[in-house]
A and B are shown apart, each in its own frame.
Chain A
Amino acid sequence: TTGAVALDKNGNVAYGTSTGGISGKRPGRVGDSPLIGAGGYADNDVGGISCTGHGESISKVVLAHQVITSMRTGMDAQEAADKALANMASRVKGYGGVIVLSRLGDVALSYTTENMSWAWAKKGTLHSGVSPGE
């Protein structure tokens, strides 16, 4: 799965996700990616998020909605992302990751799988990683 969240100079947030799913999936199987609120969300009042990981698990806990709702009540993006992924692991033993931007441009990323490749750019500087600690 691939995803992106952006904030433009006018303060508008957008997100997108694109995926081919999982190898050997049943024809017709759809995961969380195209489901608004499960696989992602964008709202200028809060921020944006794109999810990745086990689609059925993400859909069951409506992962993006959890993160956005926590942020809407004042939680910072990183804490909201960590908390939602921990909840998914706890409730449905599902693993994955998220990238998040707050409406103010705060960047957060979190994942419970072994890896997640990511990169972000701000003020002309590029950051990237694939493993925990990077």
Chain B
Amino acid sequence: MTEPVIIVHGGAWTLPKDIVDGSRAGTKAAAKAGYKKLTSGGTAIDAVEAALRVLEDDPCFDSGTGSPLTAEGKVEMDAVIMDGQTLNSGAVACVHNIKHPIEVARKVMEKTTHTLLVGEGANQFAKEMGIESVPLDSLVSERAKSDLALYKGNYGDTVKNAFKSRDSGHD
């Protein structure tokens, strides 16, 4: 029998000071949720989904609730899941109005012969799978709104500020 392990991340970027503590707490909660699955007979897939649901619910992170906004002020989310035993995978891209995109990705893996569904097709598939659509506002955090106001019209600056090299030096 193998010793179960789970590792999670909440994104590699320049963390704003006001969410450092929340990010730390959020990743710990996600790892705990996944580990609980593993130690109660769940599969690696179950553990990954459980951990990601926790992270998607936490507005400290850039997925699910708290997702960044597009230039048009909308939420477009991507998610993927993969099973290392079968190499089966499922993914969605540009889905909107979904609380847990990872749930839809898992349905793509388990209920279709496809690996990736995008946009309206992905949302239509989620509806067919009985996954509830949620209002846009329920996914939008105050931080996402202020970030968009700060960077609107200058996507290059967003990227430059979010993904600074640790070795580059900065103010």
Q: Is A105 within 8 A of B3, CB to CB?
A: yes
Q: Is A21 within 8 A of B158, CB to CB?
A: no
The residue in chain A whose Cβ has the minimal distance to the Cβ of B1 is A9
User: Which residues of A are found within 8 Å of B63, using beta-carbon distances?
Assistant: 1-2, 18-20
Q: Is B11 within 8 A of A116, CB to CB?
A: yes
User: Which residues of A are found within 8 Å of B159, using beta-carbon distances?
Assistant: 22, 54
From known contacts A19-B62, A20-B75, A111-B12, infer whether A118 and B80 are also in contact, taking CB-CB under 8 Å.
no
The residue in chain B whose Cβ has the minimal distance to the Cβ of A33 is B78
Q: Is B5 within 8 A of A122, CB to CB?
A: yes
User: Which residues of B are found within 8 Å of A28, using beta-carbon distances?
Assistant: 76, 94, 119
Q: Is A117 within 8 A of B26, CB to CB?
A: yes
Smallest Cβ distance from A66 to chain B, in angstroms? 16
From known contacts A19-B77, A36-B91, A123-B3, infer whether A24 and B83 are also in contact, taking CB-CB under 8 Å.
no
**Pick the contact of A119 from B28, B154, B155, B163 — CB < 8 Å?**
B28
In the complex, A54→B28 CA distance in Å? Answer: 24
**Pick the contact of B32 from A1, A35, A121 — CB < 8 Å?**
A121
Q: Is B163 within 8 A of A5, CB to CB?
A: no
Please report the total number of B residues contacting A with Cβ < 8 Å.
Answer: 91
Is B92 located at the chain interface by the 8 A CB criterion?
Answer: yes
Smallest Cβ distance from A14 to chain B, in angstroms? 4
**Pick the contact of B11 from A2, A7, A107 — CB < 8 Å?**
A2
User: Which residues of B are found within 8 Å of A7, using beta-carbon distances?
Assistant: 2-6, 44
User: Which residues of B are found within 8 Å of A114, using beta-carbon distances?
Assistant: 13-15, 164, 166
- B interface footprint on A1-27 (CB within 8 Å = 1, 0 otherwise): 111111111111111111111111111
**Pick the contact of B72 from A23, A27, A34, A43 — CB < 8 Å?**
A27
Q: Is B48 within 8 A of A16, CB to CB?
A: yes
- Would you list which residues of chain B between 1 and 52 have a CB under 8 Å from chain A? 1-15, 20, 23-24, 26-28, 30-32, 34-35, 38, 42-45, 47-49, 51-52
| Besides A24-B152, A112-B166, 4 new A-B residue pairs in contact (Cβ under 8 A), listed by A number | A1-B11, A10-B43, A34-B116, A95-B12
B→A interface (CB under 8 Å): 1-15, 20, 23-24, 26-28, 30-32, 34-35, 38, 42-45, 47-49, 51-52, 55-56, 61-64, 66-72, 74-85, 87, 89, 91-94, 101-102, 105, 115-116, 118-119, 144, 147-148, 150-155, 158-159, 162-167
A→B interface (CB under 8 Å): 1-31, 33-36, 39-44, 47-48, 50, 52-54, 89, 94-97, 99-101, 105, 107, 109, 111-123, 126, 128-130, 132
